[in-house]
Amino acid sequence: MILEFVVSAIGLGALYALLTIGVALLFGVLGLLNFAYGEIVMAGGFALYLFRDQPWALSVGAAVVLAVIVAVVCEVLAFRPLRDADPITLMIASFAVSLAIQSLARMTVLPRAQGVAPEPFLGQRFQLLGADISVLEIGTLVLCGLILGAVAWLMTRTSLGIQLRAAAENFEMASVLGVRANLVIPGAFAIVGLLAAAGSVVLVARQGAVSAEMGLQPMLIGVVGAVLGGLRSLKGAALGGFILGVATTLLETVLPTGLIAFRDAVLFTALIAVLVIRPQGLLSSAKVRVS
Amino acid sequence: MRNKFDWLQTPALLVGLCVLCALVGAFSGGALGRVVTMTLISVVFVAGLSVFTGNSGVMSFGHVAFMAVGAYATAYLTIPVPLKNTLFPHLPAPLAWLGEVHAPFPEALVISGLAAGLLGLLTSPIVARLSGLQSGIATLAVLVIVYNVLNSWTDVTRGSSSMIGIPKVTTVWTALAVVAITIVVAWAYRCSRSGLQLKASRDDFWAAEAAGISVGRHRAIAWVLSAVLCGISGSLYASFLATFNVSGFFLSTTFAFVVMVVLGGYLSLSGAVIGAIGVSALQELLRRLQDGGLTGGVALPAGTADLLLAAVLLVILIKAPYGVMNVRELRLPRPRGKGGDKPRQADQTDPVRLTSGAMQ
């Protein structure tokens, strides 16, 4: 019982951390709180639906490719002309991008939700130390853990990662020192596309369906997690997402059945409380000036 | 010398614009009449929103929550009691009085506004303390919370089933009357002491603080006032449509209103009103285009209207981030060559970079 809870809590925590990093990365580099993130996830799900009859590796590859393309196209068409705009303008623009992608999906293939049967092996369950655990949960945990590790490696060990972190720290200084904005920013969007694709693979496997509205939940999770952890640092954001996942699992276990439907209300009240009391995020030490 | 009644020019022009719309609606009737009434209800909402965003320079994504509260309050107050007892058979004991209350429409309108104002009062510490992006997220969180509660508390709010049986009393003329009152109230707040202080903080936050203005308090005042006005628009909405669904009070509606204020210019009341009328007309045009009414029966796939609206918003954000009106207000053109037109020149300067000024 305890072990089952721990596995599902850590699995969901890892998934939420993955989603959160996708939001925090762009905020760090561009000051963009990306509401279109959910639609990039949806693009991944869309590819999974189109290639649902192909081998698993192929459909996952297609999801990655499509999500990365959508993310980079968003950057070029919508966010590049607004590069120096203030955060609220960017936020409204990302709203518009989100609506545009959703309507495109609705106009073409997804006027209503479409089922995508998960791979049969994901539904199997096995016994581990007396606990009943599904392959899906372990798979979620392993995949998200791997991607998180890969992102950590990318950000610390590669040239692109170091340039990204420099740009997030101080964009002007970084560009003076030779970091090229038109290389780094599309690079950040491509990484976000990759993260979103991984998120979509897990989400579609859990839900068994794709729809034009499927981006809403991951987007809200990413934003809440990132704000909770502190938008300025990726580690803080990842930890914030992880805590959010664990808290969600905990709430679902602890809350009486009648109140589970109000889970979002509880989470968002907590979010407001964090914002009002600690605007820099729970885990960030950076000072954010409050007015 | 400036005329004593000079400050009334803008509200008079704006109300005049709305009267024109109402006349068009009243004489064409039918589908267009409905569109015009909905437009006027949007004007009430957007003018209410502009009381907060226009004066403080802080964007809010949560005002649709106030509209929702107003709509539900009107539903509880005006649905006939026998019908209400069949609609809500499982009201929990502490709220049983909801099944018995009843009020005629004008009172219900006012009470709905006050109910939304109460929610505004509860949430006012958020906007008093935060600005820029953080207040954007926090106001969005208010919307999500209210939506989640309305959607999940099935015994009290009917959850995702539609609310039905609200007496349909709003006509284009009641809507027009409320629009006129709203515009006057919004303008009066703008010219009031509190409104001027808030506008000072919009233009330069730290200078306003240094001059002794309690920015948080004035933001809270504007927030509550705009909540009341948006609640009233929700009440009009409910009593015009006679039925509504909780899904009408979430992100897509918020987006539609954001397009209106951004397109018109979210720093000016005239911008908000013109944006509401313009975008409503645009939406109707796109809807007819999508249904094939303009292309000779060739219907475009569902979602085309939304796609085009999003594209319009993006172009506006890129080309004119402060909308059509910028910080200007609608005024009659003045005779030229008289000199000393300082206020008009001051009106036309570019606005400061708001969020960067407010957030530091």
How far apart, in Å, do the first and last CA atoms of chain A sit? 47
pTM of the model: 0.85
B85 to each of B76, B112, B150, B165, how far by Cα in Å? 11, 20, 19, 12
Residue B248: other Cβ atoms inside 10 A: 16
pLDDT tens for B52-90 read: 998 988 888 899 999 999 999 999 999 888 888 888 878
Are A14 and A6 spatial neighbours (Cβ–Cβ below 8 Å)? Answer: no
Is there a contact between B132 and A88 if contact means CB atoms under 8 Å apart? yes
Query: What is the ipTM for the molecules in this complex?
Result: 0.82
User: Helix, strand, coil % (nearest 5) of chain A?
Assistant: 75, 5, 20
Interface residues of A toward B, Cβ cutoff 8 Å, are 33, 78, 81-82, 85-89, 91-93, 95-97, 99-100, 102-108, 111, 216, 220, 223-224, 227, 261-262, 264-265, 268-269, 271-272, 275-276, 279, 288-291
Per the listing, tokens 């200007």 go with B328
User: Considering only residues 117 to 156 of chain B, which have any Cβ-Cβ distance to chain A shorter than 8 Å?
Assistant: 125-126, 129-134, 136-138, 141-142, 144-145, 148-149, 151-153
| Residue pLDDT tens, chain B, 360 long | 456 677 788 888 888 888 888 888 888 877 888 889 899 999 999 999 999 998 988 888 899 999 999 999 999 999 888 888 888 878 887 887 877 888 888 899 999 999 999 999 999 988 888 877 788 888 989 999 999 999 988 888 888 888 888 888 888 888 999 999 999 999 999 989 999 999 999 888 889 989 988 899 999 999 999 999 999 999 999 999 988 998 889 888 888 898 888 888 888 888 889 999 999 988 888 888 877 766 666 677 777 888 888 888 888 888 887 777 777 777 777 665 544 444 444 444 444 444 433 333
Of B246, B81, B91, give the one whose Cα is nearest residue B161.
Answer: B246
Per the listing, tokens 């009085």 go with B97
B31 to each of B18, B25, B293, how far by Cα in Å? 18, 9, 13
Interatomic CA distance for residues B41 and B115, integer angstroms = 18
How far apart, in Å, do the first and last CA atoms of chain B sit? 39
pLDDT tens for B29-39 read: 778 888 898 99
Beta-carbon contacts of A196 under 8 Å, excluding residues fewer than 6 positions away, are A22, A37, A40, A41, A43, A44, A67, A71, A218
Residue by residue, DSSP assigns B260-309 as HHHHH-TT-HHHHHHHHHHHHHHHHHHHHHHHTTTTTS-PPPTTHHHHHH
Question: Token pair for residue A4?
Answer: 């089952």
- Determine the pLDDT at residue B226: 95
pLDDT tens for A192-217 read: 999 999 999 888 888 888 888 888 88
DSSP state of A258: G
Are B44 and B276 spatial neighbours (Cβ–Cβ below 8 Å)? Answer: no
Per the listing, tokens 């004035």 go with B218
Residue B51: other Cβ atoms inside 10 A: 29
